[in-house]
Chain A
């Protein structure tokens, strides 16, 4: 986990766990279970990139993403085959995640980067956008920088920042035709967005990855570090919006309708599993005869009011509930995408 360990006692963990398993849950910062922390976002902050974004959460967590594109020759360009067929490869996209005070080859960091990459390439549409012709393609470098010290698991922050940076990414307009060496329009004003604006062609929008935890039967979105420390399950759910081309001319009555697609779900090992269990009041804790407290404590039946690290996997109904909450109309993903739509793209 990218989080630094919370210094919470078993009693505090239990207090948090109990209040979060109430119905409705009471979160320590007073948010609703599906409510996100407020954030400020900005795009087009770096001049030297094709697209960039900066997102700051209210707790001070901040990330910058820069997208840079390079032309690359496609190796073993097939001479045969249909010219219209776009053969795209996922490795045209490179994602690197930098987290201060952590090595860049740290397993947690690599996992984080791969999770974001997987969601991005999940629908197979994205790599096709980088196809220029049969001989050349764009190589996209997505550099993700976490600026603040890691406060909570930074996945939602990094995912939202990447989403915005990709929305703001523009590539020069292609002037050449067919398989000749690519020539581009040098006017940046006429460059094309990788993810075209409203009403344009159909296709997906960049994915967002949401961090969801469950405590008891409650599903809680955008957990803080403390909430993550008592979570029974932590899931990273990636969704993308599918834009269909609507028939022109007709009145768009249901313009708010958004089609969401579930791309991937990954379980994340919550730090709560590593917490020490609490000891019930009745148990003799003073080590008589120099012996420590009985070691079979963890296998005992749970005592109300005593913290016990969660064991075992996630129930299917819980996963189902999470997917429902994410995908339903007016659900969390809808709300987040609405919020992100409000960000002005430079």
Chain B
């Protein structure tokens, strides 16, 4: 394994020098696109994604019903959430063209659309659609988590009411499926190298609560490891939520300082830094 198990057990350090419960550098920005209703840019280590949101707007004819990555709840009473993911050809180390009909991409689109259809208050925008265009500029593990976080930020930027943040991250386990290795550690926030070798799950929670909104696992994992992984992932999500919150508050404070938004009386936030 690239995260050479023997080395890991010696120093308890992963390939990129992190400890088991450390996140990669998370850098988030919102309102990066003047032309969009909401937009965000998110880096989790070397995974770099961008989200551009259009809407809520009148649904386009062609989009109705037949578009993939769509989650509608009956009769157009709620806003439809359309998600389209574009994985750039230059995103991974080797140039790989992923078509629009790539099964994996479609599944990611569906997961994201369904998650936000349940969290965002779509009933406030009947007969309309919210389109999320997600661009993957660089993929280095935890792709679904990064996309979910970026989508959360874009929805907040667009001012679409949600019950809480969706904060996501991955967790893995140092023991592979076959090894009945008792001393295995759970790992937080995997990169591509680790994802290729180790069993991992993607977890998204509703804000800082323990309520899990997304739990996705694509690899074989021993059931005895699952509990530990889940606990680490949920803790990681809480950390991610705070980082996302910080990015949004920083932008809000900046907008107030620049006079782009008005300071409200009820604001508890301290702007003097």
Contacts and interface: CB of A to CB of B under 8 A. Distances in A.
Interface of A: 46-49, 52, 59-62, 64, 66-68, 70, 96, 98, 100-101, 103-104, 141, 143, 145, 147-149, 151
B62 to A, nearest CB: 9
Interface in B78-126: 84, 86, 88-95, 97, 99-100
Interface stretch (B19-27, B131-139, B177-185): B131-139
A143 B33 contact: no
A62 B138 contact: no
6 A-B pairs closest in CB distance: A60-B35, A66-B90, A60-B34, A100-B133, A143-B89, A148-B35
A336 B86 CA distance: 30
B90 A151 contact: no
B27 to A, nearest CB: 14
B89 A147 contact: no
Residues of B contacting A: mostly = loop
A149 B35 CA distance: 7
A66 B89 contact: yes
Interface of B: 33-36, 46, 50, 52, 54, 60, 63, 84, 86, 88-95, 97, 99-100, 131, 133, 135, 137-138
Residue among B36, B84, B94, B95 facing the most chain A CB atoms (10 A cut-off): B95
26 contacts: A46-B90, A48-B91, A49-B90, A60-B34, A60-B35, A66-B88, A66-B89, A66-B137, A68-B89, A68-B95, A70-B94, A98-B88, A100-B84, A101-B54, A101-B131, A101-B133, A104-B100, A141-B89, A143-B88, A143-B90, A147-B33, A147-B50, A147-B133, A148-B35, A149-B54, A149-B133
Contacts of B138: 46-48
A100 B90 contact: no
A62 to B, nearest CB: 6
Given A147-B33, A148-B36, A149-B54, A46 B89 contact: no
Contacts, number: 77
Given A60-B33, A60-B34, A101-B84, A70 B52 contact: no
Nearest to A62: B33
Given A47-B46, A60-B36, A66-B89, 10 more contacts: A46-B137, A48-B90, A59-B35, A61-B35, A64-B88, A66-B90, A66-B137, A101-B131, A141-B90, A149-B36
A98 B90 CA distance: 13
Given A147-B52, A148-B33, A100 B86 contact: yes
A100 B88 CA distance: 12
A48 B93 contact: yes
Residues of A contacting B: mostly = loop
B100 A103 contact: yes
B231 to A, nearest CB: 33
A35 B60 CA distance: 34
A96 B87 CA distance: 12
Nearest to A139: B95
A100 B35 contact: no
Nearest to B82: A101
Nearest to A52: B90
B43 to A, nearest CB: 11
B158 to A, nearest CB: 13
B125 to A, nearest CB: 18
A143 B63 CA distance: 25
B50 to A, nearest CB: 6
Nearest to B60: A101
Contacts of B93: 48
A3 to B, nearest CB: 14
Contacts of A61: 35
Contacts of A48: 90-93, 138
Nearest to B91: A48
A59 B88 CA distance: 24
Residue among B90, B95, B100, B135 facing the most chain A CB atoms (10 A cut-off): B90
A96 B54 CA distance: 23
B90 A96 contact: no
A147 B91 CA distance: 15
Contact of A96 (B34, B52, B97): B97
B99 A104 contact: yes
Contacts of B84: 100-101
A186 to B, nearest CB: 15
Contacts of A60: 33-36
Residue among A67, A145, A147 facing the most chain B CB atoms (10 A cut-off): A147
A67 B88 CA distance: 11
B71 to A, nearest CB: 17
Nearest to A100: B133
A269 B68 CA distance: 30
Contacts of B88: 64, 66, 98, 143, 145
